[in-house]
Amino acid sequence: MFRLKRQFVVAAGVAGVAAFAPFVLGGYDLNLLARFLALSLLALGIVLTWGHGGILSLGQGVFFGLGGYALAMHMKLTPLAPGEVPDFMMLGGLEALPAWWVPFGNPGFALLAVVLVPGIVAALFAWSVFGRRVGGTYFALITQALALAFATLLVSAQETTGGFNGLTDFQVVLGLDLNGAEAGRTLYWVTLLVLALGWAGVAALLASRFGTMLRAVRDGENRVRFLGHDAAAYKIIAFAVAAMLAGAAGALFTLHAGVISPAMVGVVPSIEMVIWVAIGGRTSLAGAIAGTLAVNFARDAISSAFPDLRPYALGLLFILVVTLLPGGLAELLAARFRKVAR
Amino acid sequence: MELLLGQVFNGFSVASLYLLAALGLALSFGLMRVINMAHGEMLMIGGYLAYLTLQVVPGPWRLVAALPVAFVGAALFGALIHVVLIRRLSARPLDTLLATWGLSLILQQGARSLFGAIGVEVTAPAWLDGGISVLGIELPAVRLFIIGVAIAVLAGLALLLSRTRIGLLVRAVNQDRMMAAATGIDAGRVDLVVFALGTGIAGLAGVMLALLGPVTPTVGQSYIVPAFLVVVMGGLGSIRGTVAAAVILGLVGSLAQISVDASVAQVLMLVFVILFIQIRPEGVVANKSRALDV
Amino acid sequence: MIYRFLLGCAVLASVPAHAATPVKVGVLQSLTGTMAISEVTVKNAELMAIDEINAKGGVMGRPILAIVEDGGSDPATFAQKAGKLIQSNGVATVFGGWTSASRKAMLPVFQRAKGLLWYPVQFEGNECSPNIMYTGAQPNQQILPALRWATAEGYKNYFLIGSDYVFPRTANLILKKRIGQAKLGVAGEEYVPLGGTDFSAVIAKVRAAKPDIIFSTLNGDSNVAFFKQMAAAGMTSAKLPVMSFSIAEQEAQAMGPALVNGSYAVWNYFQSLPTAENKAFVAAYKKKYGARAAITDPMVHGYANVYLWKAAVEKAGSFEPEKVRKAAVSMAAIPSPMGPIKMAPNQSLVQRAYVGKLQPDGQFKVVSQLAGMIAPLPYDALAFPGKSCKPI
């Protein structure tokens, strides 16, 4: 069912072609593509949890935000002299760096935090919910509340988080001058590489015994449990891996967008992330990436021209895809190919 | 002390809003295992219907006229949603969640196109001005009215479920859908009635919200997430559980605000629910059933 | 494709040689999302100014071509669209932004590309970028005048209520320092989440604290809920006045003036200002966008920004952002609906502040015009000692 080798070949091929984009696209288009590729990384995690694990999370924005903020905090600290605090802290009346900010000055710590903080938070959260055998719709509702709570908390703790304004105005990341001419290309390639690795990694995971067990849990959790397996463990691991991917996506997105703010982590962005995957195809990694790119490019193209149309289009698309085409575009294409092959 | 008593009262007042917003969700979740993400927009529709009623009907008691209009209007809308969307997706609860979210986007934008983004005003009638003073705390008449409506809805619902034939059918399907269907009960029809009833109650909740704030295309969003938490905490399809959960969450939120900001109180509510799940994962009131996959 | 390209060339060639090529400018506001209510009106005012200028021959003989983009009420989208306008469209300048979040997200984009943004909304100060012209009120042009007025009126005990975000918290930080310095009292300070509509707890706290006046930095829908629930609790403007920093004519119209009648606001512009420039402006706007349109301070700042840019371009004799901003801070005052305005060397606007009291017709009556033209100060000397804008 899941042909790993073919996945690797396709992933490597697509990435190889995409690596030439900087020589073709202008600065703005390249930045846009890089942003959306970063978002695709998060979509891979949704395929893992939702498509293959049956876990619908309406709170992926939280983990996206945790990763984005972890890197953003590091970038805010880099240009500061010892004893200085970022400008927004001064606005809140803070004169010294809060203790929990200090380790983010270290680049190694910050990079680890980008994936580990979302991973650990997700694991603890999932453990506390799945461990009590609460799942399905309940889990979706609780994750949505989590997204709301996280965004609210970020806004209200503004002297240490930048509040509603978020964190912005980054100059340098790990020695790379973000104002420099080469920054755009370099970051694009980094993003592409991370995405290709993420794709290969998730594909391998799905093809492994773990993937089989995850699908078994999705299709009959009680049966898996009766056979003596810890069903919750599979779900917790899948959720944590998806959160780590979301964290990395958030960090990369923050680099390309130049800003991370509560507007990108709340209820609505979190649920929009599910749309990308629903449209692309919830069980297909390639479909999820394609869906993410398609929805975001379309949104960029139509929103300015017909601002009132967007909610209608998005809402209708969601209803139609979910009701009539649960497998998304990937299913449509697969059916077409099968027909041709026959 | 005054502040504490006042907040206990406010807690009940907010709880009645949570309850009115959550009852419909809990009812249909108990019966069909689906959550309607456009439920918040049923509140919005109730609010706009109240506004329209007040434009047409004269006199001081026009708010009373707005209640049935909002109830019936939202219920009809709910019935339509059930027939067109929910029924087609009944075996896929998570997909229902997503499809109804798409619907909520469309309904919000529809309201924006019809009534404008700014929102409309529903003025509380003169007989809801002022309030009464008890134990040194001021109880505004509007909030007392809302608590009263919540109690009345609850009483009506209890009567309906325990004393009428339709209530009997609902309880039968609730207990064992297949067995009920085997005895000739049209379970699909019961679903439809319950869903419409639930959205009708949401319509009433919308009128209550209109008394406290503006009616905007997104008015339903402000109470929907707490309502979801009430459903999670209440236990499957139990009305008693839903009431208890609404009261507990209302009080947690209000009492927390004695010492912290509203933002932090909102976060504390979620933390409370997650902690609560650790102790009683089956909700405040457990549904005794031998079925495994509830 | 090639056919189309040739056709394009033919069209271009058919334009008479003496017709000047248009100069492109960006108009970047939220046309969707939560901020669209406010920002669409600013976009309208900016486009109206552009149309007016085009009707009178354009800027340096060249017509202005406005490219409108949607910021979508999302900071990252604002940054993205700012990049598009500068890099893909090659605009000479951009008019836009509302929230500080959107401005802060765009700032690095404009700094990197050496572009110029004209920002029209009052804000919390504490920022100066050479690539942004800040024409909305600095704290000392709105918040401090309000406090000076309230002190003169004899109010002694202040309750501070705000939506939970940066502007209210910073405004209240400044207010608390100033109230303390004047030996007056802060009865309380409360925040509700943005868009929040439950004020039961806040009102209980106000009742317990017994203030003389409320200073409100609540935003949007929260205002309606706040005033409704205050009225339900028996606290009307007559008993407990409210000074709001985010209620302008549009909000008053939407809330139904009955609710907010008698409450106060401080702005640099009110629709009711009796000057000839303002009357002409109000008439022109209503003719274009409907007689029911309410006109607000940020709209007029957006409108005036286009004229400030035009004057600066003509003084500089160039569309080059670097030259334009230098010309802007050294040019003489120009007339506007809010009276004569002039850019200060710190790239903010020298302007007046008015205290208005809301009337039953939804308009503000100016009850006090404070101390003439106020020079903008991005950093409050008491709250942020030793901070100032480096010479730009």
Gap between the Cα atoms of B103 and B121, Å rounded: 25
What is the nearest CA distance from B110 to chain A, expressed in angstroms? 8
pLDDT at residue C331, as a whole number = 95
Could you tell me the CATH superfamily of domain C140-268+355-374? Response regulator (3.40.50.2300)
| Closest chain B C-alpha to A37 CA, distance in angstroms | 24
Separation CA C204–CA C188 (nearest Å): 11
Closest partner residue to B93 among A133, A136, A326, by Cβ? A136
3-class SS at C231?
A: helix
Q: Which long-range contacts (CB under 8 A, 24 or more apart) does B223-227 make?
A: B223/B17, B223/B18, B223/B21, B223/B40, B223/B43, B224/B21, B224/B39, B224/B40, B224/B43, B225/A144, B225/A145, B225/A148, B225/A267, B226/B18, B226/B21, B226/B22, B226/B253, B226/B269, B227/B18, B227/B21, B227/B22, B227/B25, B227/B39, B227/B40
Q: Which of A60, A138, A226 to mutate to test the interface with B (most CBs of B within 10 A)?
A: A138
Q: Please tell me the least confidently modeled range out of A333-342, B66-75, C9-18.
A: C9-18
Taking the C-alpha atoms of residue A60 and residue A42, their distance in angstroms, rounded to an integer, is 8
The reply to whether B180 falls in a domain is yes
pLDDT (tens, 9 = 90+) of chain A, 342 residues, equals 456 788 788 888 888 888 888 888 888 899 999 999 999 999 999 999 999 999 999 999 999 999 999 999 999 999 988 888 898 888 777 888 999 999 999 999 999 999 999 999 999 999 999 988 888 889 999 999 999 999 999 998 888 999 999 999 999 998 898 888 788 999 999 999 999 999 999 999 999 999 999 999 999 998 999 999 999 999 999 999 999 999 999 999 999 999 999 999 999 999 999 999 999 999 999 999 999 999 999 888 776 677 788 889 889 988 999 888 888 888 888 877 766 554
pLDDT reported for residue A12: 85
pLDDT classification of C15: cutoffs 50, 70, 90: very low
Residue B76 has pLDDT above 70, yes or no: yes
| Cβ contact, residue pair C201, B7, below 8 Å | yes
Mean of the per-residue pLDDT values of chain C: 89
Interface of C to B at Cβ within 8 Å reads 34, 36-37, 164, 190-193, 195-198, 200-202, 204-205, 207-208, 221, 224-225, 228-229, 231-234, 250, 254-256, 258-259
At residue B278, the pLDDT reads 87
Domain that holds residue B177: 23-222
- Is A326 in the B-facing interface, judged by CB distances under 8 Å? yes
Nearest 5°: phi and psi at A333? -65, -45
Select from B84, B98, B279 the residue whose CB has the most chain A CBs within 10 Å, as the one to mutate to test that interface.
Answer: B98
Residue C197's pLDDT is 86
Q: Does A268 touch chain B (CB under 8 A)?
A: no
Start-to-end CA span in chain C (Å)? 48
Distances (CA, A) of A293 to A269, A275, A287: 15, 12, 10
d(CA A187, CA A195): 12
Measured between CB atoms, which of B105, B113, B267 is closest to A153? B267
Interchain proximity B212–C208, CB inside 8 Å: no
**Interfacial A residues in 284-313 facing C (CB < 8 Å):** 300, 303-304, 307-308, 310-311
Residue in A with minimal Cα distance to B226: A145
Q: Which chains are adjacent to chain C, needing at least 3 Cβ pairs under 8 Å?
A: A, B
Residue C60 near residue C318, CB atoms below 8 Å: no
CA distance C176 to B139: 31
pLDDT at residue C3 is higher than 50: no
Over residues B34-63, the pLDDT tens digits come to 999 999 999 999 999 999 999 999 888 899
pLDDT of residue A338: 67
A140 with B95: Cβ contact below 8 A:
no
Structure-block tokens of residue A236:
């917790």
Domain C20-138+277-352 - what CATH class? alpha beta
Higher pLDDT, B290 or C382: C382
Q: Which of C81, C124, C193 sits opposite A152 (nearest CB)?
A: C193
Chain A closest CA to C250's CA: distance in Å? Answer: 21
Structural domain harbouring A307 = 4-341
Q: Cβ contacts (< 8 Å) between B29 and chain A: which residues? A: 137
The shortest CB-CB distance from A310 to any of C32, C101, C193 is to C32
Chains in touch with A (3+ beta-carbon pairs under 8 Å) read B, C
User: In chain B, which residue's Cα lies nearest the Cα of C33?
Assistant: B117
Chain C CB contacts of B212 under 8 Å are 197-198, 225, 228-229, 232
A264 shares contact with chain C (CB less than 8 Å):
yes
Gap between the Cα atoms of C177 and C183, Å rounded: 10
In chain B, how many domains are there? 1
> Which residues of chain B from 84 to 123 reach within 8 Å of chain C, CB to CB?
117-119, 121, 123
Which chain B residues are closer than 8 Å to A128 by Cβ?
Answer: 274, 277-278
The pLDDT, as a whole number, for residue C123 is 94
CA B18 to chain centre: 6
Mean pLDDT of all residues in C212-227: 90
Residue A340: the pLDDT is 54
End-to-end C-alpha distance for chain A, whole angstroms: 18
Contacts of A304 in chain C (CB under 8 A): 31, 68-70, 81
Quickly state the pLDDT bin for B288 (edges 50, 70, 90): low
Please give the backbone phi and psi of residue A260, each rounded to the nearest 5 degrees, phi first.
Answer: -130, 130
Any CB–CB contact under 8 A between A313 and chain B?
Answer: no
What type of residue sits at position B162?
S
Q: How far is CA A311 from CA A300, B38, C79, C163, in A?
A: 13, 14, 21, 26
Looking at residue B289, its pLDDT comes to: 53
In chain C, alpha helices (H)? 2-14, 36-55, 75-83, 100-113, 143-152, 166-181, 200-209, 221-232, 249-255, 257-260, 276-289, 297-316, 321-330
CA atoms B281, B286, B289, B290: torsion sign: positive
Inside any domain, residue B85? yes
- Tell me what pLDDT residue C316 has: 96
Q: What distances in angstroms separate CA A67 from CA A273, B210, C253, one per listed residue? A: 16, 39, 43
Residue B262 has its nearest CB partner, among C201, C208, C255, at C201
The whole-number pLDDT of residue A116 equals: 97
Measured in degrees and rounded to the nearest 5, phi and psi for residue B243 equal: -60, -50
The number of domains in chain A is 1
Phi-psi category of A124—alpha, beta or left, where left has phi over 0 and alpha has psi -120 to 50? alpha
Does the ipTM exceed 0.85?
A: yes
On chain C, the residues whose CB falls within 8 A of the CB of B213 are 197, 221, 224-225, 228-229
**Residues within 8 A of C (CB atoms), B 131-150 only:** 131, 138, 140-143
Query: What CA–CA distance (Å, rounded) separates A284 from A291?
Result: 10
Backbone phi, psi, residue C156, to 5°: -115, -25
Question: What angle (nearest 5°) sits at the alpha carbon of residue C246, between those of residues C244 and C251?
Answer: 100
Closest CA to C79 of A169, A308, A182: A169
Kindly state whether A95 is in contact with chain C, defined as any CB-CB distance less than 8 angstroms: no
CA-based nearest residue to C107, from B15, A171, A302: A171
- Closest-CA distance of chain C to residue B106, Å: 13
Among C163, C192, C198, most B C-beta atoms within 10 A, so best to mutate, is C198
CB contact, 8 Å: A316 with chain B? yes
Strand locations in chain A, DSSP E? 167-168, 172-173, 176-177, 259-260
Q: Which residues of A touch B88 (CB under 8 A)?
A: 323
Chain A nearest CA to B106, separation (Å): 5
Q: Quote the minimal CA–CA distance from B238 to chain C in Å.
A: 27
CB contact under 8 A, C107 and A169: yes
Tokens linked to C158 = 């202040």
> Is B8 contained in some domain?
no
C146-203 pLDDT, tens digit per residue, is 999 999 999 999 999 999 888 999 999 999 999 999 999 999 999 998 888 889 889 9
Confidence of residue C5 (pLDDT cuts 50, 70, 90): very low
CB contact under 8 A, C221 and B119: yes
